[in-house]
Structure 1
Amino acid sequence: MMIDIFNPQISVVAKGLEGKVITIYGSNNLGKTKQSTRMKKPLYLPFEKGLNAIAGVPFMPINSWGDFKKVNKQLTKNPEKAKEVYQTIIVDEVDAFSKYATRYVCDQYDVDRIKDGNDGFGLWKEYETEIWEEINKLLNVGFTVVFIAHATEDKDGKILPKGDKRVLAPVIDNSDIVLFLSSNGVDEDNKVIKSSAWLAETNKFFARSRFDYIDTYIEEFTAENLEKAVIEAIKRQEEAEGIQAVTYEEQKQKNSSEKLDYDQLMEQIIEIGTKLSEEGRLEEVNEVTEKHLGQGAKVTECTKKQTDVMSVILDDLKDLLEN
């Protein structure tokens, strides 16, 4: 899809849980893992051992960040094939997830601690980039992605998801729903009562939802009740705002931008560059190239990793030709 600010896309809401990002957090034994693995077509990624009492769940053993990167690569390299088998990807849990990434970056740069790298300046940027790239890769495919986290308290006693802020930031910022689970204890027969889920922030805990019409409290937290709450919220939005919800694929198409093809870009750049050179404007062509690639650089030396930069150069060259 071509970039044209005078022909903008109109945002739409997608039905169901497909493509949604959900963070579920709370203390132990509240059903975070159990209910997540009951969602549609799950693949469980255990950064901590959460399946010891749950049978029948498809999972990939994760014993290092390298294991996760390999799994993530397979999920995202051929997403159409992966989505035939899986709809829900479960990352359990966020704090352990960050520790695996920390060890990977330390080993990558042969240091014992993140802060020891880069001649004492630390490897925080490298660590953040590593986390962001893997999370972003997973979220862009269209799975329902569930992040599970433990709970912690801040200095004022407010309950929050536990984890390194460099990991929590991209997780929470990308979450459509953050649920806080609270215990309901046991009944008169000493059987555990299913936990409740909160979807709106209070002065006691953090929670939130992007859906204005969603119930902010689910008395009995189950996979079915969570999906029902999301579906009902979207129906209410349709009725209240007069909108028509679409499928996830239709929403994805709306949010897509121009697909960049290296060979086509190179062909067009050479064609326009040649025309400008024939007009005696080679110096202007070089100015555009060096502006984006650096002094003395040539577009013909660009690699396939530089297609985004090439697309901007092409856009500038088209402007030169028109003028």
Structure 2
Amino acid sequence: MSLDIFNPVVSKVAKGLEGKIITIYGSNNLGKTKQATRFKKPYYLGFEKGLNAIAGVPFAAINNWSDFKKVNKQLTHKSTVEKAKEFYQTIIFDEVEASARYCSKFICDKYDSDTIASGRDGFGLWKEYETAYWEEIDKLIGAGFTVVFIAHQTEDKEGKVWPKGDKRALAPIIDNSDIVVHVRSNGTDEKNQVIKSSAFLAETDKFFARSRFDYIQTGLQEFTAEALEEAIIKAIERQEEVEGIKAVSYNEQKETLKSEVLDFEKLKAEIIAAGKLLHSNNKGDVVTEIIENGLGKGKKVTDFTKNHVEMMVGVLDELNDEVKALEEVK
């Protein structure tokens, strides 16, 4: 999709859970994993042993970061993603802190370091770790599944409750979550039977939670997958009613977010054509300057490679501006 501020793409809201990113966090034994597996067509990525008491759920036992990379490739690669979607709609990522430990060990092993902090002669491997984690999470959340991240909780110095985990791992998850759900225990009844947990979808001074949907209810007395899905659907319906918008399918929304596909051979051919036209109008020095600004001193069109397609877009835009200026003079 081409970028044109005078003919802008208009944002759309998608119905249902498809493509939504959800983070669920809280203390242990609150039903986070159990309820997550009740979403439609689940596939469970078990960084922890969260399925020990839950039967009948397709899963991958993730014992190291390489395991996750292998499974994530099957879920997200362009050659397999559509087949994966025929099998699964919801990907459950359980749990964030454990996944970060695996990624950290992967980076330490890669650079033969005992710790992230001591790697690269004491300068640390923080950037390598952050990048490795972000790249895999970005693939997963961009593939179009409903992705449910599960996290434990921690408290800050003031006693406020937050999702637990290293900030470098939490950032790409929380920042991209459409909903962050805090689950809290309701204790037991007079017969010592566990009362089902409640869920909160708005932040308070006691805990963090949030939703991108302005019209969603702020709490669920009984936390279930069905109740959360219903809350999201009703919030979107309410937005349609109040704001006069029309929610679309996830595929329709996805089309508005696509970038133009950058084809190396096509870009190269268009750059050559524009360059020849400018050369024929005594603008060869301008062509050289534009290409060198984009690629480097002394570089020519023949030096462009497939790794340079984004630079080539900029070069082509500048060449086309010069061509347009010539046409206006004529």
TM above 0.5: yes
Counterparts in 2 of 1:136 and 1:116: CA distance versus 1, 3 Å: same
Does the aligned pair in 2 maintain the 1:12–1:245 contact within 8 Å? yes
Measured in 2, the distance between the counterparts of 1:68 and 1:282 equals 51
Alignment of 1:241-256 (within 5 A): 241-256=243-258
The answer on 1:25 being equivalent to 2:17 is: no
Query: Which of the residues 212, 215, 236 maps onto 1:213?
Result: 215
- Please state how far the C-alpha of 1:180 moved relative to its aligned partner: 0.3
CA distance, structure 2, for counterparts of residue 114 and residue 174 of structure 1? 25
Residue in structure 1 matched with residue 315 of structure 2 by the alignment: 313
Distance 1:148 1:8 in 2: 36
Please state whether the residue corresponding to 2:53 is helix, strand or coil.
coil
Give the letter aligned to residue 88 of structure 2.
Y
TM-score by length of 1: 0.96
CA positional deviation for 1:58: 0.7
5+ long unaligned stretches in structure 1: none
Q: Which amino acid aligns with 1:55?
A: A
CA contact (8 A) 1:154 1:160 kept: yes
* Structure 2: runs of 5+ lacking an equivalent: 326-330
- Give the distance between the partners of 2:71 and 2:209, measured in 1 at CA: 29
1:65-111 per-residue CA deviation (whole Å, 9 max, x = no partner) reads 11111111111113222211111111111111111111111111111
Mapped partners of 1:311, 1:71: distance in 2: 34
Report what 1:106 is aligned to: 108
RMSD, aligned α-carbons: 1.4
Change (3 A) 1:295 1:127: farther
Of 82, 85, 88, the residue aligned with 1:83 is 85
User: 1:217 Cα deviation (Å)?
Assistant: 0.3
| Structure 2 CA distance for partners of 1:126 and 1:212, relative to 1, 3 Å | same
Letter in 1 for 2:7: N
State the partner residue of 2:298: 296
Q: Percent identity?
A: 65
Q: Can you list the C-alpha shifts for 1:20-79, whole angstroms capped at 9, x where unaligned?
A: 110000000101111111111111111111111111111112111111111111111132
Instruction: String of CA shifts for 1:154-185, please: whole Å, max 9, x gaps.
Output: 01100000000011111111000000000011
Q: Tell me the amino acid that sits aligned with residue 2 of structure 1.
A: S
Q: What SS does the aligned partner of 1:60 have? A: strand
Which runs of structure 2 are paired with 1:1-40 in the superposition (5 Å)?
A: 1-40=1-40
- Cα offset for 1:291? 1.9
| Amino acid corresponding to residue 239 of structure 1 in structure 2 | E
Report the Cα distance in structure 2 between the residues aligned to 1:115 and 1:298, rounded to whole angstroms: 42
Does 1:182 find its partner at 2:187?
Answer: no
Show the 5 A alignment for 1:1-323: 1-78=1-78, 79-323=81-325
Superposed CA offset, 1:127-166 (max 9, x none): 1111111111111111111110000000110000000001
Name the SS of the counterpart of 2:17 in structure 1: coil
Q: Distance in 1 between matches of 2:19 and 2:129?
A: 26
Task: Between 273-282 and 7-16, report the one with greater CA deviation.
Answer: 273-282
Give the aligned residue type for 1:121.
Answer: F
User: Contact (CA 8 Å) 1:36, 1:223: kept in 2 or not?
Assistant: yes
Q: Letter of the aligned partner of 2:255 in structure 1?
A: Q
Paired letter, 2:117? K
Shift of 1:6: 0.4
Matched residue type, 2:96: V
Q: 1: distance between equivalents of 2:179 and 2:43?
A: 20
The answer to whether the 8 Å contact 1:299/1:310 transfers is no
SS where residue 143 of structure 2 aligns? coil
Q: 1:150 to 1:77 in 2, by over 3 A?
A: same
CA positional deviation for 1:306: 2.7
SS of the aligned residue for 1:23 comes to strand
| Matches of 1:25 and 1:292, distance apart in 2 | 46
| Alpha-carbon distance between aligned partners in 1 of 2:34 and 2:14, rounded to the nearest angstrom | 26
Moved more, 134-143 or 284-293: 284-293
Looking at structure 2, the residues matched to 319 and 121 of structure 1 have their Cα atoms a distance apart, in angstroms, of 45
The alpha carbon displacement at 1:10 in A equals: 1.3
Shift of 1:226: 0.6
Deviation at 1:189, TM superposition (A): 3.3
Q: What amino acid is the match of 2:114?
A: D
Q: 1:260, 1:81 → 2: CA distance?
A: 25
Offset at residue 288 of structure 1 (A): 1.9
Change (3 A) 1:93 1:307: same
SS of structure 1 residue aligned to 2:154: strand
